[in-house]
């Protein structure tokens, strides 16, 4: 039986994530309501494309805040898996790159890396520091939440056998994803050599993460190795989420136009983002099939005791009894 109350570690991690989100959400509200704080050119934030992008990123962070709350509340264990996992997959894929690359960029170039452009440097410092805090807090809270809700993921080995009708298809998809990820990730690694420090760090880590994630997916599908299942799962999760999340973001920015998208040529960088997004999506779908078959159920839900009411804290049995 899993605990129906979150432990101190999960609560603390969620609080850290929420606290790190609040400055970013506040800044987005100010920009969306007409404020030009932190912007050198007041007209910059009035561009329709920027308004749309600010609304989108505000919504993304708001979803992250709700999920952080869910990881500490009893009702969070009742949420269907399809409502929890996809946004966390994209969010952790995006934030993992920031958590690793931002400190390296500061070490390589100092705070000068954030100077220039229409947005003042202190905004970048605040935003990226917040991203690091919410990335670490959200990923930690999610890992502890998942350990309580799906303990089999943390206790079984990679070679665990289970019925998998779609395994032949998964193997084709995994090997194909590795081929494309090796091409796009290798291209990023080449770009990382000799480029400016900011782009070099980001391209280098994205390239390594893409290749490592695809290789981990192949290992998971083939059930090769003797280690715990959670290790390659983390690599495949972050690698595919990063490919899809950053690729989708780049496609949206390019399509929206505006200050960040105007004149963006669809050259090699555009193709890398496009194929990265598609590869990440295919990897994510393959992983979803694998996790669903491995869990043994179509929808991972708590088993409710017949004596328990709809949502009462003083029931004879907890709603999270029987979680897989």
Q: How far apart (Å, rounded) are the C-alpha atoms in residues 177 and 182?
A: 8
Is 34 a domain residue? yes
- Looking at the structure, tell me whether residues 13 and 145 fall in a common domain: yes
Q: What is the pLDDT of residue 99?
A: 95
Judge whether 242 and 213 are in contact, CB under 8 Å: yes
Is 123 a domain residue? yes
Q: What is the pLDDT of residue 266?
A: 66
Q: What is the pLDDT of residue 185?
A: 96
- Looking at the structure, tell me whether residues 35 and 97 fall in a common domain: yes
What total number of domains does the chain contain? 2
- Looking at the structure, tell me whether residues 221 and 108 fall in a common domain: no
Is 75 a domain residue? yes
* 186 to 24, 94, 203, 205, 264: CA distances (angstroms): 33, 19, 10, 11, 22
- Looking at the structure, tell me whether residues 183 and 286 fall in a common domain: yes
User: What is the full per-residue pLDDT of the chain (324 aa) written as tens digits?
Assistant: 345 677 889 999 999 999 999 999 999 999 999 888 988 887 888 888 889 999 999 999 999 999 999 999 988 888 999 999 999 999 999 999 999 999 988 888 777 777 767 888 899 999 999 999 999 999 999 999 999 898 888 888 888 888 888 899 999 999 999 999 999 999 999 999 877 788 889 999 999 999 999 999 999 999 887 889 999 999 999 999 999 999 999 999 888 776 665 555 567 888 999 999 999 999 999 999 999 888 764 343 443 333 334 444 444 344 444 443
Location of structure tokens 């709350």: 69
- Looking at the structure, tell me whether residues 81 and 49 fall in a common domain: yes
- Looking at the structure, tell me whether residues 191 and 237 fall in a common domain: yes
- Looking at the structure, tell me whether residues 141 and 185 fall in a common domain: no
- DSSP 3-state assignment of 30? helix
Residue finishing a domain among 104, 123, 149 = 149
- Looking at the structure, tell me whether residues 187 and 82 fall in a common domain: no
Judge whether 103 and 125 are in contact, CB under 8 Å: no
- Looking at the structure, tell me whether residues 143 and 253 fall in a common domain: no
- Looking at the structure, tell me whether residues 141 and 226 fall in a common domain: no
Q: What is the pLDDT of residue 84?
A: 94
- Looking at the structure, tell me whether residues 92 and 224 fall in a common domain: no
Residue finishing a domain among 100, 119, 149 = 149
Owning domain of residue 264 = 159-299
Q: What is the pLDDT of residue 132?
A: 96
- Looking at the structure, tell me whether residues 141 and 206 fall in a common domain: no
């Amino acid at each position: 039986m899993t605990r129906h109350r979150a432990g101190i570690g999960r609560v603390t991690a969620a609080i850290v994530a929420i606290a790190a989100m609040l400055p970013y959400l506040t800044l987005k509200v100010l920009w969306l309501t007409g404020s030009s704080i932190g912007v050198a050119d007041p007209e910059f934030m009035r561009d329709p494309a920027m308004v749309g992008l600010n609304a989108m990123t505000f919504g993304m962070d708001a979803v992250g805040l709700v999920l952080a709350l869910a990881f500490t509340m009893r009702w969070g264990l009742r949420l269907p898996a399809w409502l929890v996992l996809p946004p966390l997959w994209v969010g952790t894929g995006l934030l993992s790159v920031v958590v690793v690359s931002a400190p390296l960029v500061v070490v390589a170039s100092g705070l000068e890396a954030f100077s220039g452009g229409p947005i003042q440097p202190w905004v970048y410092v605040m935003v990226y520091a917040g991203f690091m805090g919410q990335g670490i807090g959200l990923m930690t809270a999610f890992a502890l939440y998942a350990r309580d809700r799906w303990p089999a993921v943390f206790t079984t080995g990679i070679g665990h056998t289970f019925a998998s009708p779609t395994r032949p298809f998964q193997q084709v998809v995994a090997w194909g994803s590795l081929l494309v990820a090796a091409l796009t990730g290798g291209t990023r690694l080449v770009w990382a050599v000799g480029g400016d420090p900011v782009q070099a760090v980001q391209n280098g880590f994205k390239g390594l993460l893409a290749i490592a994630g695809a290789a981990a997916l192949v290992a998971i599908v083939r059930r090769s190795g003797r280690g715990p299942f959670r290790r390659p799962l983390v690599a495949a999760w972050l690698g595919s989420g990063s490919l899809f999340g950053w690729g989708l973001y780049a496609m949206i920015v390019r399509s929206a136009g505006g200050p960040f998208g105007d004149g963006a040529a669809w050259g090699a960088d555009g193709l890398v983002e496009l194929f990265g997004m598609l590869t990440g999506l295919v990897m994510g779908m393959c992983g979803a099939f694998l996790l669903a078959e491995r869990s043994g159920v179509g929808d991972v839900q708590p088993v409710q005791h017949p004596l328990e009411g709809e949502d009462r804290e003083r029931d004879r049995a907890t709603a999270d009894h029987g979680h897989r």
